[in-house]
Amino acid sequence: MLTNDLLESARGLSANIVGLRRAIHAEPELGLYTPATLAKVREALADLPLTWREGTSCTGAIATLEGAKPGRRVLLRGDMDALPIDEPAGLAFASQIPGQMHACGHDTHTAMLAGAARLLCGMRGEFSGTVDFMFQPGEEGHHGARFMIDDGLLDPLPEAAFALHIMPNAPFGVLAGRTGPLMAAADQFTITVRGRGGHASMPHDCADPVPAAAAIVGAIQAMVTRRFNATSAVVVTVTQLTGGSAHNVIPDTASLGGTIRTLTQENRARVRVLIAEVAKQVARAYGVEADCRIDEGFPVTVCDARAARLGKTVATSIGGKGGWRDLADPIMGAEDFAYVLEKVPGAMFFLGVAGEGDDWRQCCGIHSPRMVVDEHALPTGTAMLAGCALEFLERGWD
């Protein structure tokens, strides 16, 4: 089954894949509730022999396909939500909703998954086992996968799970992956510095929280470089710094916030403790107080070695040796498919969608309003998803 025939079959579905992608792109939805997107998916697949289950805490849904005979169970996932970004004019199918845009490629993920569902439905007489197609909202920081798991939508648990993520600044049509940590855990921190405000011309009568907050920013960077081995992947970035309401008023409080990215549970726990300690001690040196709140985000996305090997086998059978690239290092972005991979062995892979023939190094990446997707690469993603399902159903982890 894993030959160029699979890619050619996927290419035969290009109109369906691209049409659904563009329809979703034009009407992006945010967060855990993406009813219009799910409706588009269900309409596009209405003629197929799929059994649907929907959740109660979000608009996540599982479409299930039964093969010719009982066998193994595999899950394929695509996410549906967009980002709160304004899309510049230009595309005929650009977002019609101000302040919302599919700038992370979830429109393509959903369309490729729907394409894989159609492709596999056409082959259902040729394989044994069950395929679950997971259409998930709320990936952009909203823990959509966790909500779907809590809703029981992954019961019974599949024996393997696979997902794709596009990369607009990666070579056209090339798939990539790795064994072990693929993407980082992502937590958020908020530090509030509490002092005593007053007139800016008389700081000696105040307890100024602003210089303390500024010092905490620098101290956090020193903490990372001096308390963690240089070979450890630990990133702490301050992205927000606020305080005050007028040029001549020292405020009572100042605050800063940002993100923590780690690849091990040990470092994840240690960073949380150290940030709070640094904030408290620096604030004390400035005669003020500080407290730190950590909001837990996604866990580390860890790819099973067997699943990564399976993906490489599928990718090279579809696109030849040049169709696959081993990633030497993890990416410090985060992904809530990690929740699925905590429960089920599997892997996520990246698909390059830079323009064919373009210098992909010069292309904008995800989360940019200027990112561009070469839609001719999407059938490769559909073939990859379908191929991973077929390979696992036929061979398991052999």
Angstrom distance (rounded) from CA 120 to CA 131: 9
What CATH number matches the domain at 4-182+300-395, 1.10.10.10, 3.40.50.720, 3.40.630.10, 3.10.129.10?
Answer: 3.40.630.10
Do the strands 128-136 and 160-167 form a parallel or antiparallel pair, or are they unpaired? unpaired
The contacts of residue 366 (CB under 8 Å, 6+ apart) are: 103, 104, 105, 166, 167, 168
Going by pLDDT thresholds of 50, 70 and 90, the confidence category of residue 149 is very high
- The single-letter DSSP state of residue 346 is E
For residue 221, the model assigns a pLDDT of 94
pLDDT for 134 beyond 90:
yes
Strand partners, 101: 83
The pLDDT-based confidence of 113 (bands split at 50, 70, 90) is very high
Q: How confident is the model at residue 3 (pLDDT cuts 50, 70, 90)?
A: low
Provide CATH 3.40.630.10 ranges for the chain: 4-182+300-395
Calculate what percentage of the chain has a pLDDT beyond 70. Answer: 99
Distance, in Å, from the CA atom of 397 to the CA atom of 393, rounded to the nearest integer, reads 9
Look at residue 282 in the predicted model and tell me its pLDDT: 98
- CB-neighbour burial class of residue 306 (10 A; exposed 0-12, middle 13-18, buried 19+): middle
pTM, two decimal places: 0.94
CATH 3.30.70.360 fits 185-295, yes or no: yes
- Strands 346-352 and 160-167, by their bridges, are parallel
d(CA 383, CA 21): 16
Q: Give the model confidence (pLDDT) of 8-52 as tens digits.
A: 999 999 999 999 999 999 999 999 999 999 999 999 999 999 999
Per residue in 250-309, pLDDT tens? 999 999 999 999 999 999 999 999 999 999 999 999 999 999 999 999 999 999 999 999
The two three-digit tokens of residue 139, written as one number: 């990936």
Is the Cα dihedral 36, 379, 65, 80 positive or negative?
negative
- Positions of CATH 3.30.70.360 in the chain: 185-295
